Structures are given as C-alpha cells and as structure tokens.
Structure 1
Amino acid sequence: MATPRPSLHLLPAALAVLALIPVVVLPLAYLVYGSTLDTESATGAGRVTFERFGEIAGNADYRQGILNSLKLAVATGVGSCIIGVLIAWIVVHVRPPGRNVIDALMIVPFFLSSFVLAIAWAMLGNPNNGLINGWISDLVGRDVVPLSMYSFWGIAFVIMTGTVPFVYMLTAAALGSTDPSLEEAAAMSGAGRVRRLRTVTLPLVAPSILAGVFFAVVFAMESFAEPAILGASIRYNTVLTDIYLAVENFPIKYGTASALAVVVMAITVVLVFVQGKLLGNRSFVSLSGKSGSGADISSGYGRRARLALLLIPVGYLVLAVVLPMLALALISLQPFASPQITELTLQNYEWFFSDEANLRALRNSGITSAAAAVASMLWMFVLAYALRRSRFWGSRVVGYVALLPIAVPGVVIGVALLWISLRSPVLIHGTLIIIALAYVARFSPFVLRSITAAMTQVDVALEESARMSGAGEGRVLRDIIFPLIRPSLLSGGVIFGLFSLRDLNTVVLLSGPTNNTISMQIWSMYENAQLPLVAATAVVQSSILLALVVLGRWLGRAPTVRSSTVDADEPEASYPSRREGGSPASLASPALARHGGR
C-alpha cells in the first residue's frame, strides 16, 4: 500500500501561506478601504462612505475614461484574435518555408516593453515629424501626412503588438496537438477546406483561442503607457491615465485614485471569472489513444500559396519588432530626432553610460529585479509544494488568492502599495524595498504557475519510493523534486526578471529620485522631450531583455536526475527527465506550460 503523502515541514509551509497576507491581501484591503473614505489624504482619518463611487459615476470625464478602456479592450481582443489565430493557422497548417524561425520570433514582441514600443511608434507615426511620414514625403517629393498614431486605432494597434503573440502561442500549441484524423475524416466526407476549418479545427482549439483573447482584453484594460503617450495630445483618457493624474497632479486625490482602481480591478476580476466559467463546464477533448494516419495537412497548399501566406506573419513581425527597433536605433544615433539621417553619433550612448542618474536607475532595476526574483522563486516553490502535495483545509482559497494579482492591473497594485507605504510605521516609501515588494506582489503568480505546472507532471510515486527507501523530506526535495522542476523554476525566475525590468505600470506611482528604475528613467526623459536619449536608453533596455530571453531558453534545458537518488542499483531510465520551459511557448508564459509547448 502506498504511503500517505506527508506534508512539507509545517513552519515553511505556514510562512509561505501567511506571506500572502502582507504581500497580496493587506494592500488590496487597504485599497478598498481607502476608496470608501471621504478624504483625499492617504494618511489622515476619514469617515467610511461610498459617495466616492457616486462622484465617479457622476463625472463625465471619469465615465468616458472607463468607456475608453473598455473600447480599447474589445478592439484589442478582437484584433489579437484575428491576427494571432491566422498566424497560428499559417505556421501549423500551411507550414510555409521558415516556419520554425517565425515560431521562435513570435515570442519577441511579448517580451519587449510595451512602453518602449509606444514610444517607438510615437516617433514613427507622429503626424508632424514622424519617421514614416518623413520617409514617404521624401519618396513622393512633397509633404504628406498619411499616418498618425495619435488616435484610438493607433493606441489599439500598439497594444495588439504585445497581445498577438499570446493568442498565437496558445492557438499554435492547440493546433499542433489536435488529432489530424478528425480533419482527414471530414475531408473524406466531402467537407471543403473552409468548412473543415469552421466545423472541426476552430471548435477544437476554441478554449485556447478564448484564453488568449481574454488575456488580450485584460492586458488592454491594464495598459497605461500606450494611451498616456499616444492619447495625451488628443485628450484620449483611460481609467488608468485618470488614476495616474489623480495622484500626480495637485491637489493629490488618493481617494479618487483608489476608487477608480477598485473599479478597474472589479472589471478585470469579473473578466477572469467569466473566462473560467466559459471554459470550466465544456469538454474540448481532441486527443485520444488512437493516432491519425500522419498525413501532411498542408499538402493542399502550393509553394506560391505558402510564400504568399508567409507575408502575413512576416508583416506582423516587421510592424511589431523591426520597424520600432529600427526607429529607436536610428534616433539613438542622431544628435536630434529627424527623419533625415544627417549625422550619426554615439554620443547618446556615451551620455547614458556616463550619467550617474542612468547608472543608478540601471543598478536599481537590476538589484530590485534580482532580489525580488530570488525571493519569489523561494516563496513560490514552498507555496507550490504546499498546495500540490500537502492538501490542507482552505488550500483552494489560498491558491486563488496567490493567483489574484494576475487579474489586477499593475497601476492598481501600485496604488494599493502606495497606501501601505504612506501609512507604514517603517519608512519604505521612496526606497528600493517598496519597488521590490511591488514586483513580488505583481509577478509572483507567474512563477507559481510555472512551478505548479511542472510539479503536476512529477509522478508522486517517485517521492513515495524515495521515502520508502529511507530518504528524508529534505533529500526528496533536493534529489527528486528540485531536479525535475528546475527548468520551470529557473524559467519562471527569468520571466519574473523580464517582466520587472520592463515594468512601468506598477512602479510609476512608487518611484522617486532615489529609487528610480530604468523604465521610470525613460518615462522622465520622454516627458522632457529628450527623444535621442530616450531612444538610446530604450535600446539598452531592449538589449538586456532580449539577452534574458536567450538566457531563459538556455536555462530551460532538460534536467538529468541522478540514478542514485533512491537506489544506487536502480537504472537511470527509471527517473525520466522532464523538459519544461524550453519552448517558446513555455518561456513566454508559465501558464502555457499547462497547454504544452511547441
């Protein structure tokens, strides 16, 4: 009879669970409490009332901001669905030349800072002196203004460049794992290509498409930099820009900002809840023990058709990566921003690496991201083991609370932690501690998803065999659990570092002169219209992010578990290694580990 699963050492497990209170529960509770006070001060006492929400409902500007956020969310969701699904279908079913390169490059826009991409497109699509308009004017020989990114569709487009990869990866993973015999049977029954796509393929991958669309919608709801940069000149406000202005402008309105934050948090939580309901009670089984004939489902497409369809993913990558990065590189090499290249210089990069404020911001980002990533990995490892292996009363609720920050926009978490820092008896406001705490609160759920997905695939029998052979709990963790989940743990840490290094939304309300991060340094320079310096700093940040992507792929290699883990006489093949986090899909998001990588 199998031995019962023992609990992790009680004290570490209890501390991991209790840590959710100060990191997640308390800040959000303070946020809700602050939204009900009749004072705009974050430190003074006030009377509990719900009048603040009535004031928001009665204010036309605030109502318009909420409506604008919802419109952007819908447009982003629909656009990301169309583009992401189409590219996934081309790569998996049409299989054009270079599909493996396309598949690998599709994760790049996901990791580039959306804030930096918004700045790049502001340089490209400025109606007065944008690079694209300047290039077209030089080409046709007269002044033209064919493109302006300062519009609703310009904002939605920039947001979509970061959400299309998620829809693509989820859909491509699902398309690659469906049983080809189903389409073969439909074809043999006389169904045409369009009908097979509509009645067989799309229904089978509907859960993945829906999950990707909901992610795009939530991502758009929490987008701050894009409307702040591209919408300011046309007075296109969203609920998040209203929150920022409520805190940054004088008089400061902490109460109003908190109430708006509660509204947007409620919207995103409802969206995640609806997604769970839509997917939770339906069956989408498409894999079985029987394999298909293995026929090439792309055989109906000629070479010319494949090359023509290849232009769609290539065009997307050009717009999402090549053009923005080209614009940043060109502007960073000029003494002033201009469509005409009159002089190339490295003085902007020399300034970046010689200016103490830039170096301090870079150090602050590195220190806070690394410290927060290590703390999050240790915390989430213990918490994941407690949740997956040590069933206790309330574990389901604890799991929901741990994942709650996924549904909470970064600006909202920033407002919540602002309340904590201003009311804390210990001085943490304006320090690196509050920045690191914000990163842990915001991005730890991604590490948890990565670890739990890997831990689910570890057979409990391996642990039970080790214990029956006399191995203690510590040795089981060291020699069994950790080697098998190490790639996912390290990939989760790298993803944490990527998200924190590029983050602006969470820290925009928490940063000051002494705890500035690299993203806040770019933001400050952009507000001062120092475009060549902004471009050089953005290129440095993007290079660091791309290097971390490569590091994450390298760390996601398959582990080798020592054959002596349990019994020296046991063959090594008894302990199969697991690869988790090595594919673009699993590196792009820990949540994708549940769906399988391509």
Structure 2
Amino acid sequence: MSFKKIKSMRSDYQAVLLLILAFSLIATVVYPFFVLILKSFGIANYQLADFNVTAYRAVLKDGQLLAPIANTLKIAIGITALTLAFGTALAWLVTRSDFKYKRAVKGVVFLTFTIPSYIFGISWLQCFGRNGYLNRIYQAFGWDYRFKAYSLLAVIIVMSIHLYPLVFIALVNAFKSVDNSLEDAAILSGAKRIKVFFTITLPLVLPTIWSVGLFVFSRSMANFGVPALLLMPIYQETMTTAIYRSLNNLDFSGAAAISMVLVVVSSAVFVLQQLFLRNKKFTTISTNSGTPKYVKLGKKSTFISAMVFAMLFLTTLLPIAILVVTSFMKRWGLKLQVGNFTLNNYKILFTSELARTALANSVIFGAIAALIAIFISLIVSYTKNFRPYKAATPLAFAASFPMVMPNIVMAIAAILAWNKGIINFYGTPIIIVLTYTALFLPIVIKQIAGLAHNYDHSLEQAARVCGASTVRAAKDVLLPFISPAIKSSFILCLLIALREIPIALMLHAAGTETVGVLLFNMRSNSAGLEATSTVATVVIALSLIGRLILRRIMRVKNS
C-alpha cells in the first residue's frame, strides 16, 4: 500500500471522526443554545426581522429581576465565605496539625459529599420548621420559637453544608503539595507558625482557594432545588427560580432572557477563574519529600476536636439521622415512641409503580446519556489530546461549554429547541437524554483529560510499528489506559442523574419521571414528610454506594 493511500485513509478517518463529533455537539449543545439566544431576542422561526430586546428590557429595566439578582449574589457570597472558612480550616487541621481524628473527619466529609443539597434542605425543614424537632424542644420548655426556617440565611447554611467538601478536598491536596522544606527553613530562621502560614503556606495555596472559591460561587448561583424549597414558599426568588416562574407563566422570551443573563454571569466567573489561575502560578524548587512537621495543638486539642465533631454532627450526622428516623414514622409530627414507628413507608415505596418507574428512568436515562457523553468525549480527547487536529479545538470548546450553563438553563434551551416542528422531542425520554448528555460532557472530558496528560504516545507508535491499525492500536493501548476514567465517569454520571432535579423536572411528562422529580413533587404537593424522607433515605443510600464504587475506581486509576 502506497504512502499516499495510507495518508488519504488517515485523512478520511479524521474527517469521519470530526464529522461525528460536530453532529453530536450540534444536537446536544450548539443548537439548543443557539435557539435560546434567538428566543431571548424575540426571534421565532429564524425570522431575523422579529429581532427585539423587549424581553431584556422587561426583566432589567422594569426592576423585576433586581430582587432575584440581589438574592442570588447575597446567597453566592455568603456560601462562598462560609465554605472557604470552614473547608480551609478543616483541611489545615487534617494536613498540617497533629489532629488525632483525621480519618474520621475525612469519612464524615465524604458522607456529606454524597448527599444532594435538596435532601439537606428537606432535613433542615424537619429540624427547624414550624413543627420541627427543634420547635418541639422549645415547646417542651415553654419557650417561644421564632426561628425562620424559610429564609436567605437558611439557603446559605444548607448550601454551605453541601458545598464545603469541595473546598476541603481541594485544599487538602493543595496543602499536601506545599514543600515542607520552605516552612521548615522559615521556622529555623525564627519565624512563628502564624507568620509562616500567612507568608509562605497561604500564598502557595492561594490559587487553589481562589479557584475553588469561584467554582463554589458559580455553583451557588446555579442551584435551583434549595432556593425553590426554602424561598419560593415565602415568595422570594433567585435567578433560577425566576426562570422557573417565567416558564410556568409561559413567558418563554422572559425565561430565555433571564437564562442568558445567568449564563453571562457564570461565564464571567469562569473566565475570571481561568485568568487568575493563568497569572497566579506558584512553583517550588524542590519536591515535597519527607514527613511534614505537624503543628502541635497541645492543650487546645480536646477543645478543637470537640468543636470539629460538634460541627460535623450538626451539619451531616444529625440531618441524616433526622431523615432516617422520620422515614420510619407512621406520620410526621407524632411523638418518638416505639408504637409510632413502621416499615410500611418503605413497603409502599418499593411497591409503588411510580417509584419503580422513577428509579428505572433515572438509571436508564443516566446510563444512556453517560455512554453517549463518553463516546463524544473519547472523540474529543482523541482529536485534541492524543492525536491533535486543529479543527478539533472549537469542537472541544463547544463540548466544554455546558460547564458555564446552569442545569435549569440547559432545560430551557432544550424546551425551546425541541418542542416544535417535525422534530418534537418534548415530553419524551429523548429530550432528557440529550440534555443529560450535554450536562455530562464537561465532567467526562475532565476525567479523561486527567489521564491524557500522562499518556505516552510511544506505546501507540510501537503498536503501529508492529503492524496494528489505528483502530487496533487505540483499542489495545489507548482504551485500557483510560478505562479507569471511563468507569469513574460512568458512575459519576449515574449519581448525578439520580439526584438531578431541574432538567428532569422541566422536561418530564407522564411516564418519564425521575427520582429527582419524584422527590420534588412529593414535597411540592405536600406529601407527608415521612414519605419524602423515605425517598430521601433511599437516594442517600444509593448515592453512598455509588460514591464508594467511584472511590475504589479512583484508587485504581491513581495507582
């Protein structure tokens, strides 16, 4: 076979890959977002003559979006401050001090990380609501209970509990990467520990703090479930719940305009994060070797340990205990007596056709979308990292773009893109799978990219020298190398599908409900908290099992 023929075959192979990639990304990301932009400017059926800014003027000039924007910023700033303070302090204790219970803290943080934020919100209401456990304690002592379970502060606290593990995990890795010799040299020179921390340790981990802080800020703005649970009943809104209200009022242009404002803000935060990381890179001249010299807590050790476990108990163990106990109650509000407990709630749940359908849909939709996302991500990684092609760069950007799109915005874009004309997917499983695929793409790409940087191209070249075709070399060399990332991505996508609410809530129809929809509707339709807690407990159990499997896969991947 001539060299020209081989080169021609390679070009054809590249063209096919890029064509498949382009078509997939147009269907899942580009087209829905394009329609969202058009709709926000009043353009229907691609008639550019309809262009107007009426929707933007309505939501910005009339002031109806000012309160949601203010609430969103207050919540995001509050959550970012709390998570950074608690997560950083806890990470420092675990990595830089002689704190005794490091493994226990890591275990509780891991458990917190598995619980969806909406479930934390449900537990919050059971503890602090009008008929909650805390109110009952107050009544027993004859005290006046005035705590507001529905408020901006409630959203900040609940979301901070949910997101601080992200800060903890990031800062643990950052503190471990700090070269111990720098700190040791400063201490030997007579510097105090507090000065060493602020002049050496903190500057070295500052890029991580900024990066994870901006990520938490972005995730806080994008959350829908907790504000819907704790703010909508008192007629307060964030930007995500304002989108939900506009859609319920059939104001599609208004929903699209608010969505675009949220995307612009999220994109700005993401760009700031990337610029900061690009301009703030710190390097140490030696490797981090040897055992670090931990700061001795001394007499404060007992007090600090008590405070840490009190916080972990209140933020994680108590909410879980409340949910589990309530799930066994005959009815929410009854006294905690043996005669008031039952297994009937679980029997009803597992024999309910709706519950079985919701669980099956979550798994099936999540699995199909995960497989599609993995397939697309493999092509993205292959054409961008393993065998770089210039044409793949804009396609890779498109695949990662959903990272700055909140889930509720993806749902709005999907509704506008697929609810009319010959191709009408609204109310079918297809629209949910397509939107889940867009949601999963940045996650899977990031997982695979983590291994791509360590890939030795000489392995594939050796296989080619031995006579293997491009496909065979990729199958026998490349796929085994990235298989841990593929497995972890699949499990992670399933976990997200199991707990995801806004996409499924807005796109489902009868028969396509998911676990997230079931949980949201049970609470919204004033179903008994004992029934809601039963579903929440099952979701926690499934999430924990999935996380444990994912953790095991990641250990294999890292080894």
TM (norm. structure 2) is 0.93
Residue among 303, 308, 312 paired with 2:303: 308
Deviations 1:362-382 (A, max 9, x none): 111111011111222222122
- Residue 231 of structure 2 contacts residue 237 of structure 2 at CA under 8 Å; is this kept in 1? yes
- Residue 17 of structure 1 contacts residue 383 of structure 1 at CA under 8 Å; is this kept in 2? no
- Deviation of the 1:397 alpha carbon: 2.6
Counterpart amino acid of residue 278 in structure 2? G
Q: Describe the shift of the 1:272–1:290 C-alpha distance in structure 2 as closer, same or farther (beyond 3 A).
A: closer
Which deviates the most, 94-103 or 440-449?
Answer: 94-103
- Deviation of the 1:45 alpha carbon: 10
Tell me how far apart the structure 2 counterparts of residues 557 and 369 of structure 1 sit (CA, whole Å). Answer: 24
Deviations 1:243-266 (A, max 9, x none): 1111124xx111111111011011
Q: Describe the shift of the 1:553–1:125 C-alpha distance in structure 2 as closer, same or farther (beyond 3 A).
A: same
Q: Which residue of 2 aligns with 1:129?
A: 131
Tell me how far apart the structure 1 counterparts of residues 475 and 213 of structure 2 sit (CA, whole Å). Answer: 39
Residue among 30, 34, 41 paired with 1:29: 34
Which deviates the most, 425-434 or 13-22?
Answer: 13-22
- Deviation of the 1:120 alpha carbon: 1.4
Matches within 5 A, 1:352-371: 352-371=349-368
Q: Which residue of 1 aligns with 2:164?
A: 164
- Deviation of the 1:47 alpha carbon: 1.7
Q: Which residue of 2 aligns with 1:445?
A: 442
Tell me how far apart the structure 2 counterparts of residues 30 and 160 of structure 1 sit (CA, whole Å). Answer: 34
| 1:266 maps onto 2:272 in alignment | no
- Residue 487 of structure 1 contacts residue 557 of structure 1 at CA under 8 Å; is this kept in 2? no
- Deviation of the 1:493 alpha carbon: 1.2
Residue among 60, 63, 66 paired with 2:63: 60
Kindly report the root-mean-square deviation, in angstroms, between the aligned alpha carbons of the 2 structures: 2.3
- Deviation of the 1:44 alpha carbon: 11
Tell me how far apart the structure 2 counterparts of residues 197 and 147 of structure 1 sit (CA, whole Å). Answer: 38
Q: Describe the shift of the 1:503–1:44 C-alpha distance in structure 2 as closer, same or farther (beyond 3 A).
A: farther
Matches within 5 A, 1:528-547: 528-530=525-527, 531-547=529-545
Q: Describe the shift of the 1:418–1:311 C-alpha distance in structure 2 as closer, same or farther (beyond 3 A).
A: farther
Residue among 373, 376, 390 paired with 1:376: 373
Tell me how far apart the structure 1 counterparts of residues 137 and 90 of structure 2 sit (CA, whole Å). Answer: 29
- Residue 411 of structure 1 contacts residue 507 of structure 1 at CA under 8 Å; is this kept in 2? no
| 1:404 maps onto 2:401 in alignment | yes
- 2:207 counterpart SS class: helix
Q: Which residue of 1 aligns with 2:458?
A: 461
Q: Which residue of 1 aligns with 2:88?
A: 85
Q: Describe the shift of the 1:124–1:45 C-alpha distance in structure 2 as closer, same or farther (beyond 3 A).
A: farther
User: Could you list the runs of 5+ residues in structure 2 that have no partner in the other structure?
Assistant: 1-6
Q: Which residue of 1 aligns with 2:468?
A: 471
- Residue 207 of structure 2 contacts residue 281 of structure 2 at CA under 8 Å; is this kept in 1? no
Q: Which residue of 2 aligns with 1:590?
A: none
Q: Which residue of 1 aligns with 2:180?
A: 180
Q: Which residue of 1 aligns with 2:212?
A: 212
- Residue 98 of structure 2 contacts residue 296 of structure 2 at CA under 8 Å; is this kept in 1? no
Counterpart amino acid of residue 199 in structure 1? T
Q: Describe the shift of the 1:46–1:229 C-alpha distance in structure 2 as closer, same or farther (beyond 3 A).
A: farther
- 1:423 counterpart SS class: coil
- Residue 43 of structure 1 contacts residue 423 of structure 1 at CA under 8 Å; is this kept in 2? no
Q: Which residue of 1 aligns with 2:4?
A: none
- Residue 435 of structure 1 contacts residue 507 of structure 1 at CA under 8 Å; is this kept in 2? yes
Residue among 273, 294, 299 paired with 1:298: 294
| 1:527 maps onto 2:520 in alignment | no
Deviations 1:151-177 (A, max 9, x none): 211111111112111111111101111
Tell me how far apart the structure 1 counterparts of residues 481 and 312 of structure 2 sit (CA, whole Å). Answer: 35
Counterpart amino acid of residue 82 in structure 1? A
Q: Describe the shift of the 1:79–1:94 C-alpha distance in structure 2 as closer, same or farther (beyond 3 A).
A: same
- Residue 495 of structure 1 contacts residue 552 of structure 1 at CA under 8 Å; is this kept in 2? yes
Tell me how far apart the structure 1 counterparts of residues 472 and 308 of structure 2 sit (CA, whole Å). Answer: 48
Deviations 1:551-589 (A, max 9, x none): 21233353xxxxxxxxxxxxxxxxxxxx33x8xxxxxxx
- Residue 65 of structure 1 contacts residue 242 of structure 1 at CA under 8 Å; is this kept in 2? yes
Higher helix share: 2
Deviations 1:76-133 (A, max 9, x none): 111111111111101101142231232243233233211111111122111x211222
Tell me how far apart the structure 1 counterparts of residues 401 and 311 of structure 2 sit (CA, whole Å). Answer: 32
- 2:388 counterpart SS class: coil
- 1:153 counterpart SS class: helix
Tell me how far apart the structure 2 counterparts of residues 149 and 337 of structure 1 sit (CA, whole Å). Answer: 17
Counterpart amino acid of residue 399 in structure 2? A
Q: Which residue of 2 aligns with 1:348?
A: 345
Counterpart amino acid of residue 294 in structure 2? S
- Deviation of the 1:468 alpha carbon: 2.2
TM (norm. structure 1) is 0.87
Q: Which residue of 1 aligns with 2:123?
A: 120
Tell me how far apart the structure 1 counterparts of residues 302 and 402 of structure 2 sit (CA, whole Å). Answer: 42
Tell me how far apart the structure 2 counterparts of residues 311 and 435 of structure 1 sit (CA, whole Å). Answer: 46
Which deviates the most, 436-445 or 330-339?
Answer: 330-339
Residue among 48, 64, 74 paired with 2:51: 48
Which deviates the most, 416-425 or 203-212?
Answer: 416-425
- Deviation of the 1:467 alpha carbon: 2.0
- Residue 125 of structure 2 contacts residue 132 of structure 2 at CA under 8 Å; is this kept in 1? yes
| 1:102 maps onto 2:91 in alignment | no
Counterpart amino acid of residue 298 in structure 1? Y
- Residue 386 of structure 2 contacts residue 452 of structure 2 at CA under 8 Å; is this kept in 1? no
Matches within 5 A, 1:178-327: 178-249=178-249, 252-286=250-284, 288-290=285-287, 294=290, 296-302=292-298, 304-327=299-322
- Residue 366 of structure 2 contacts residue 433 of structure 2 at CA under 8 Å; is this kept in 1? yes
Q: Describe the shift of the 1:199–1:539 C-alpha distance in structure 2 as closer, same or farther (beyond 3 A).
A: same
- Deviation of the 1:484 alpha carbon: 1.8
Matches within 5 A, 1:432-581: 432-530=429-527, 531-558=529-556, 579-580=557-558
Counterpart amino acid of residue 296 in structure 2? G
Counterpart amino acid of residue 484 in structure 1? F
Q: Describe the shift of the 1:443–1:315 C-alpha distance in structure 2 as closer, same or farther (beyond 3 A).
A: farther
Tell me how far apart the structure 1 counterparts of residues 73 and 66 of structure 2 sit (CA, whole Å). Answer: 11
